[in-house]
Amino acid sequence: MNIFAEAARLEEENRPFAIAQIIESRGSTPRHSGQMLVMADGGCIGTIGGGMIERLVIEQAIAAIAERKARVFHGRMARNGQDAVGSDCGGAMSVYIDVHGLRPRLVLIGAGHVNRAIAHAAKPLGFDIHVTDIYPASLDAALFPPGTTLVHDESFPAAISKMNIEPSNFVIIATNNQDCEALNALIGQPLRYLGLLASRRKVQTFTHRLRQCGISETDIARLHAPIGYNIGAETPEEIAISVLAELLQIKNQSPGGLMKEDIRLTRDKLVVIRGAGDIATGVALRLYHAGFQVVMLDIAQPTAIRRTVAFAQAMFDGQACVEGVTGRLAKDVDEAFELINRGEIPLLIDGAAQSLEQLKPRFLVDAILAKQNLGTQRSMAPFTVALGPGFNAGQDCDAVIETHRGHELGRVIYQGYTHPNTGIPGNIGGHTARRVIRAPADGVMRCCVALGDLVQEGDIIAHCGETPVIAPLSGMVRGLLQAGLEVKTGCKIGDIDPRGAEADYTTVSDKARAIGGAVLEALMKLGRG
């Protein structure tokens, strides 16, 4: 069999293989020139001389295919020493092993106008394109680039099971009305890329359902939705460019964004937020979606209780995903900049804000919400905004945001103070202080329930040391301190939402959104000046 004809066939079928070619030979060797084709299962066509060295080259070729990366093998026909292959011929050989047949596989779930446009735009980029749909007429081969694999079945889950989708695949869901069924069939698979063409509201509805079905936050965080870059795309062809730009960013492991907006070149949109609790996270999300670059600073063991909506959880878990945005713990400022360029929100362990000297942000937001100023000064950044009591706008900061629930929640104050701290939590379902859980004793926090669990008044939900923590009322556990933390008597460790199953513990609160909008308003006004 002709080695190059077989290589051409495998390349056309997008089946991985390697070509091993002798590039150097010295002394007594089986051959001084030659090529060999090696397939992923170890099957071979051709030879480089046989013997022990060929067996080792085959092993190296299989490893190169798995790694998807070329390599050079050096072998000496000797029993001992560097590169020895266990023979007595005395020569030496170098073999270049190149990997082929690895076009990235793009699987399009749905054969509508947008996925057709994506297929045509992706073909010249080297993708191996596979399309499935439940409507035979939509799978007319004339609608797709030559070489597209078309799969039909009566349902999308059945069609997906036919396609042998692998972890290395890129998958895009864009059906007429069965996105949910397709998403349910794919969300648990560790794909290279899973994208969903949908509106923000639809994405929120779907992710909420997934959580109710027990899908982990890790699986949900892998979903790219809404899909693509916001370039004002309207036609299928424009949407295809938007989607493929994001897909190529993932494929090429590139940070994305405009090159001129690299954080190392300009800090005009850089915001540092002190604190990473639920309110600070609501602020971070509002600024992030408005195009600002956000870094969050907090202590190593923050005491945020609404941990599902607080990027502070990244301090314990390494990362946290809130409403589709990933916050990730960075070891230093350089890594923080890399994360920003990757479209994530970095967190630094820096309660004293010492990294400001390196970060050099244009904006600083104090979102610690300690009811007092813990050291933020107006001189820390060109523009400084603070949240809640304890700050004097015009002296400690350029603006302060009203955080007290009521008519003035979210008001931006440029001179003076907010309302003083009342010490009374906001009213939810007729309950204020009663819904807040405080530590009954000193000790290490141990949790008996999880966030989102429904409890009855009198249930044991945690322990502080050996002292049980009793639910003060029935409802949903919306807040609960991280297990393992040392707590002091009287400190806030949890929160019960009396609305029960109707409560939403997975998205930021109305209060956080209002305050986030106020911070955005303040930054826009201050930045114009």
Please write the tens of the pLDDT for every residue from 11-59.
877 788 999 999 888 887 778 888 899 998 988 888 888 778 888 899 9
Query: Cβ neighbours of residue 289 under 8 Å, at least 6 residues apart?
Result: none
The pLDDT assigned to 49 comes to 82
CA distances for 435 relative to 17, 478, 488, 513, 528, angstroms: 63, 10, 19, 21, 42
Alpha-carbon span 405 to 85, nearest angstrom: 76
**CATH architecture of the domain with residue range 105-251:** 3-Layer(aba) Sandwich (3.40)
Q: What is the dihedral of CA 211, 320, 282, 289, to 10 degrees?
A: -90
Nearest C-alpha neighbor of 333 from the set 350, 316, 351, 317: 350
Which long-range CB contacts under 8 A does 394-402 form with residues at least 24 apart? 397/366, 398/522, 398/526, 399/522, 399/526, 401/515, 401/518, 401/519, 401/522, 402/518
The pLDDT assigned to 427 comes to 62
The answer to whether the predicted template modeling score (pTM) of the entire model surpasses 0.75 is: no
Alpha-carbon span 378 to 43, nearest angstrom: 69
* CATH number of the 433-498 domain: 2.40.50.100
Question: What is the full DSSP assignment across 236-292?
Answer: HHHHHHHHHHHHHHHHTT---S-GGG-TTT--TTEEEEE--SHHHHHHHHHHHHTT-
- The pLDDT tens digits for 91-130 are 888 899 998 877 889 999 999 999 999 999 999 998 999 9
Token pair listed for 510: 């109305």
The pLDDT assigned to 432 comes to 67
How does residue 246 score in pLDDT terms, banded at 50, 70 and 90?
very high
Task: Return phi, psi of residue 421, to 5°.
Answer: -65, 125
Instruction: Give the helix/strand (H/E) hosting 131.
Output: strand 128-133
Alpha-carbon span 219 to 217, nearest angstrom: 5
Distance of CA 127 to the CA centre of its chain: 23
How does residue 425 score in pLDDT terms, banded at 50, 70 and 90?
low
Nearest C-alpha neighbor of 148 from the set 173, 127, 168: 127
Q: What's the mean pLDDT in 452-457?
A: 92
The pLDDT assigned to 422 comes to 65
Alpha-carbon span 2 to 32, nearest angstrom: 20
Alpha-carbon span 246 to 257, nearest angstrom: 10
Fold of 263-423+510-528: Rossmann fold (3.40.50)
431 has pLDDT over 70: no
The pLDDT assigned to 467 comes to 94
218 has pLDDT over 90: no
Q: What's the mean pLDDT in 457-477?
A: 93
Q: Count Cα neighbours of 28 within 13 Å in the Cβ-side half-sphere.
A: 6
429 has pLDDT over 90: no
CATH 3.40.50.720 in the chain: give the residue spans: 105-251
Q: What's the mean pLDDT in 424-447?
A: 80
435 has pLDDT over 80: yes
CATH 2.40.50.100 in the chain: give the residue spans: 433-498
Q: What's the mean pLDDT in 380-404?
A: 94
The rounded radius of gyration (Å) of the Cα atoms in the chain is 29
DSSP letter for 91, please.
-
CB burial readout 147-185, b (16+ within 10 A) else e? ebebbbeeebeebbeebebeeebbbbbbbeebbbbbbbb
